[in-house]
Structure 1
Amino acid sequence: MSEHEDEYTEQGRAVYEALLARTGEGAPQPRLEPTRRTLDLLGDPQRAFPIIQLAGTNGKTSTSRMIEGILRSYGLRTGLFTSPHLVHFNERIVVDGEPISNETLVRNWEDIQPYVNMVDLELEGAGEPALTFFEVLTVLGFAVFADAPVDVAVVEVGMGGEWDSTNVADAQIAVFTPIDLDHTNRLGKTISEIARTKAGIIKPAATVVTAAQHPDAMAQLVNAAELSEAPIIAQGVDFELISDVVAVGGQVLNVRGRAGVYSDLYLPLYGDHQGQNAAVAIAAVETFLGNGLQRLSTDPLTEGLTEVESPGRLQLVGIEPTVLVDAAHNPHGARSLAAALGKYFDFREIVFVLGVLSEKDAEGILEVLAPIAQRLHITTSASTRSIPVDELADRARAIVGPALVHSYDNLEDAVFEARDWANEGESRLVVVTGSVVLAGEVVELAEANGWKK
């Protein structure tokens, strides 16, 4: 690393530390005005490019990556805004398929910082909390995309939709992945309440593209679309996944899109849910590029899907033994994980290394994984929001019994002993899951120890 690069690395780390000093993502402020005010002072960079916005409970990041990849294969300069990051903060803001450099991060931070400070002072004077981590991150993301500049931005909401800070932008396409129970302490206790909040991203003149939904969620999306006079494009009606077949390293899909049937599409991701996500992504791109009237060209579509990656989603990080990392952090995600393990992998025994954040439904996750687990290694991530090991272990024993549960205060011990157990027998698999933070830490651990060599 050159001295110049090293300087920007240190400055980039300082930017991240400055953001971390603000109220974190686990406690977002249900408001839009401070973010809108900051962007207004910056000249509304979010209006400089069209936006495809995604909300939902699971599948947002994977679907976002597919949409971005297909659009980029068409020659468009793309922006991608996702959260949380798996390993490096810069992963959250991507331009043209690459996480922004530390130099770009620092330069744009220096541009927005005076206006962020100005709004902080205004909020302080009004007796309100300063801009939060995610509010400032949203401003930073839009500023980076305008500066690039991008032809289109694919933006994933942080939490909910209606009052998520990304909702200051008016998206041309509002995409919904499956909606289920999650963040119930903030979004609502029922699927209907949660869907009502997420439906807040639907704006007048937008088009809605939605995955198949629970009837209660669909009713809320239809109601919001009608109020905004926004057409709604629904999976199972306007488009569908016709078939998916297991293939080496992923699956082969046949999809009926809005404008025709697309056959023999290779997707290098595991899980039936990823095939469904791909169908949603194709419909969203058809809608953006030609309002669903123009069939997508075969080569760009094939290229966009073939090159897609979804780090932390059934990601292979180790061989001999096989170690998979999956960021499933709610029962819906755990069900997708369990289904994929049964269909795409041929192992007789599985040890799960599990750590869960305090606001998540740990019992719901455990109930899904228990029937396919031979061992549970209970541990914790570095997040201060993690459920303490002893508490999570007790909750696990109440569901699966004491024999399967082993607790570890140290994540490395949990994973290394899981790998040792897997190596002692035949056809054994290690799966690390329960938290994005936990997944990211094990990805780094695997890279540092050369588990794939």
Structure 2
Amino acid sequence: MSEIDDEFADEGQAVYEDLLARTGEQAPRPRLEPTRRVLDLLGDPQRAFPIIQLTGTNGKTSTSRLIEGILRAYGLRTGLFTSPHLVSFNERIVIDGEPISNEALARNWEDIRTYVEMVDLELENAGDVPLTFFEVLTVLAYASFADAPIDVGVIEVGMGGEWDSTNVADAQIAVFTPIDLDHVARLGSTIAEIARTKAGIIKPAATVVTAAQHPDAMAEIVKAAERDEAPVIAQDVDFALTADHVAVGGQVISVRGRAGEYNDLFLPLYGDHQGQNAAVAIAAVETFLGDGSQPLSTEPLVEGLSEITTPGRLQLVGIEPTVLIDAAHNPHGARSLAAALGKYFDFAETVFVVGVLGDKDAEGILSVLAPIAARIHVTEPSSERSIPAASLARRAAAVADPGLIHAYDTVEDAVFAAREWANDGPSRLVVVTGSVVLAGEVIELAEAGEWKKS
């Protein structure tokens, strides 16, 4: 944050606190009309720029960042909307590669606040609940992007797709990352049900770009696309990751795009899944810039990929000992994490620091990690939805050797003990995972303790 923007830090925090007073984003309302009503009163700012919208179970934020970074390298002024944040609320609304300033956040909030309160009153008079945290945040993001202004918005859904408040906009390109089981209480208990809800982001005249999917998910995406006469651009059919090799600081990938071959591209991210995400991002950018008919020029693509960062995704936050943060919060994400650790890192033993929120499949996550763990430190992130450490320890012992499990009431204690254990032996790694909330807390601990300088 700049020194000038420090003057507005209190105002930025006040905006966040105003939104926090509303129904939280983990209890979304399956509705679009209230968000649409506010935006209508504001003159429909979401129609001021073209939109690439993303949904899926895992990889949404990474793929969103990849698309945004590549588009920015081609000279476009971008808006990026992702959730949740790791450390700062401003991370959710990014303009031209930088989190929105506190000054702009506060100014845009004042511009929309009266209209938000008008719709709150309408809802209350109708016997409905006021606009939720995420509904207001969506309005704030679209208004901020129109105010900037931007050339293109890259919008990640909050949950699902069909009734997610971001879906009030009509995206020109609907991007699907891999779909698996998550949020089953709200989205459905099968992959097909979840995919059906997510496919709601497909609109008439849109183009669909999708990662390789489970057959049940692909069937739902194709059905929705056919209904809206939207062409489907599918991974491993219309484009593909053709090669990926471990490299210092990441990997080198080659991609067969819709319109061109892109070979030996450095991607500063770890994990085969990130190579797959990059292939999807390249196909989406090809589709946006030239409807897939023209290959991308090499220099901006190389630049865009080389500058990508994905905070909280296999992020190195400490050395001596090495500490990695990965916000995997479901079994699918845990499997990607485990595969990446085996391929991209060479450590003899690993201690996992794990904290999980109550609506997640804790046993599923832990059963993936247990076979590669020397120790598992379970703890409780600072969220009212967190599974208590003692309860998580009992659940961990049901799927892993109880001798691996060590419970800590605080995140700081769990991480301190993990780092101490790692320093006591050769070739030991600390991995923090299980929750975005936990990832954010440990990033702050690392910055405060200057772990990379230790």
Aligning the two structures, in what range does the TM-score lie when normalised by the shorter sequence? Answer: over 0.9
Post-superposition shift, 1:8? 1.0
Give the counterpart letter for 1:197 in structure 2.
T
Aligned residues: CA RMSD = 0.9
Instruction: Provide the C-alpha distance between the structure 2 equivalents of 1:375 and 1:426, rounded to a whole number of angstroms.
Output: 15
In 1, are the aligned partners of 2:52 and 2:154 still within 8 Å (CA)?
yes
Q: Deviations over 1:308-360 (max 9, x none)?
A: 00000000000000000000000000000000000000001000000000000
- Per the alignment, residue 183 of structure 2 pairs with 183
Give the counterpart letter for 2:63 in structure 1.
T
Q: Deviations over 1:239-285 (max 9, x none)?
A: 00001000000000010000011001000000000000000000000
- Per the alignment, residue 241 of structure 1 pairs with 241
Post-superposition shift, 1:12? 0.7
Instruction: Provide the C-alpha distance between the structure 2 equivalents of 1:207 and 1:3, rounded to a whole number of angstroms.
Output: 43
What TM-score does the superposition give when structure 2 sets the normalisation length? Answer: 0.99
Q: Deviations over 1:2-32 (max 9, x none)?
A: 9964441001101100101100111000000
Instruction: Output aligned runs, 1:51-450, within 5 Å.
Output: 51-450=51-450
Instruction: Provide the C-alpha distance between the structure 2 equivalents of 1:30 and 1:211, rounded to a whole number of angstroms.
Output: 26
Q: Does the residue aligned with 2:189 lie in a helix, a strand or coil?
A: coil
Q: Does the residue aligned with 1:18 lie in a helix, a strand or coil?
A: helix
Give the counterpart letter for 1:294 in structure 2.
Q
Q: Does the residue aligned with 1:15 lie in a helix, a strand or coil?
A: helix
What TM-score does the superposition give when structure 1 sets the normalisation length? Answer: 0.99
Instruction: Provide the C-alpha distance between the structure 2 equivalents of 1:118 and 1:314, rounded to a whole number of angstroms.
Output: 43
Instruction: Provide the C-alpha distance between the structure 1 equivalents of 2:75 and 2:159, rounded to a whole number of angstroms.
Output: 31
Q: Does the residue aligned with 1:452 lie in a helix, a strand or coil?
A: helix
Instruction: Provide the C-alpha distance between the structure 2 equivalents of 1:274 and 1:4, rounded to a whole number of angstroms.
Output: 36
Q: Deviations over 1:152-184 (max 9, x none)?
A: 000000000000000000000000000000000
Instruction: Output aligned runs, 1:25-44, within 5 Å.
Output: 25-44=25-44
Instruction: Provide the C-alpha distance between the structure 2 equivalents of 1:68 and 1:91, rounded to a whole number of angstroms.
Output: 14
Tell me the matched-pair count: 453
Q: Does the residue aligned with 2:301 lie in a helix, a strand or coil?
A: helix
Give the counterpart letter for 1:49 in structure 2.
F
Q: Deviations over 1:180-203 (max 9, x none)?
A: 000000000000000000000000
In 1, are the aligned partners of 2:120 and 2:130 still within 8 Å (CA)?
yes
Instruction: Output aligned runs, 1:13-24, within 5 Å.
Output: 13-24=13-24
Q: Deviations over 1:354-381 (max 9, x none)?
A: 0000000001001100100010000011
Q: Does the residue aligned with 2:8 lie in a helix, a strand or coil?
A: helix
Instruction: Provide the C-alpha distance between the structure 1 equivalents of 2:246 and 2:450, rounded to a whole number of angstroms.
Output: 28
Q: Which moved more, 1:223-232 or 1:383-392?
A: 383-392
Q: Deviations over 1:55-109 (max 9, x none)?
A: 0000000000000001000100000000000110000000000001000000000
Instruction: Provide the C-alpha distance between the structure 1 equivalents of 2:5 and 2:89, rounded to a whole number of angstroms.
Output: 17
Give the counterpart letter for 2:440 in structure 1.
G
Q: Deviations over 1:205-234 (max 9, x none)?
A: 000000000000000000000000000000
Give the counterpart letter for 1:150 in structure 2.
I
CA separation of 1:2 and 1:160: change in aligned 2, threshold 3 A: closer
Instruction: Provide the C-alpha distance between the structure 2 equivalents of 1:358 and 1:303, rounded to a whole number of angstroms.
Output: 40
Give the counterpart letter for 2:357 in structure 1.
L
CA separation of 1:245 and 1:114: change in aligned 2, threshold 3 A: same
CA separation of 1:3 and 1:443: change in aligned 2, threshold 3 A: closer
Q: Does the residue aligned with 2:219 lie in a helix, a strand or coil?
A: helix
Instruction: Provide the C-alpha distance between the structure 2 equivalents of 1:12 and 1:70, rounded to a whole number of angstroms.
Output: 29
Give the counterpart letter for 1:155 in structure 2.
I
Instruction: Provide the C-alpha distance between the structure 1 equivalents of 2:160 and 2:6, rounded to a whole number of angstroms.
Output: 37
Instruction: Provide the C-alpha distance between the structure 2 equivalents of 1:75 and 1:392, rounded to a whole number of angstroms.
Output: 48
In 1, are the aligned partners of 2:5 and 2:101 still within 8 Å (CA)?
no
Q: Does the residue aligned with 2:302 lie in a helix, a strand or coil?
A: helix
CA separation of 1:68 and 1:447: change in aligned 2, threshold 3 A: same
Give the counterpart letter for 1:277 in structure 2.
N
Structure 2 unaligned residues grouped into runs of 5+: none
> How many percent identity over aligned positions?
79
Q: Does the residue aligned with 1:253 lie in a helix, a strand or coil?
A: strand
Instruction: Provide the C-alpha distance between the structure 2 equivalents of 1:389 and 1:414, rounded to a whole number of angstroms.
Output: 10
Q: Does the residue aligned with 1:194 lie in a helix, a strand or coil?
A: helix
Instruction: Provide the C-alpha distance between the structure 2 equivalents of 1:3 and 1:389, rounded to a whole number of angstroms.
Output: 40
Post-superposition shift, 1:401? 2.5
Give the counterpart letter for 1:379 in structure 2.
T
Give the counterpart letter for 2:214 in structure 1.
H
Q: Does the residue aligned with 1:238 lie in a helix, a strand or coil?
A: coil
Structure 1 outlier segments of 4+, above 3 Å: 1-7
Q: Does the residue aligned with 2:220 lie in a helix, a strand or coil?
A: helix
In 1, are the aligned partners of 2:252 and 2:266 still within 8 Å (CA)?
yes
Structure 1 unaligned residues grouped into runs of 5+: none
Post-superposition shift, 1:399? 1.1
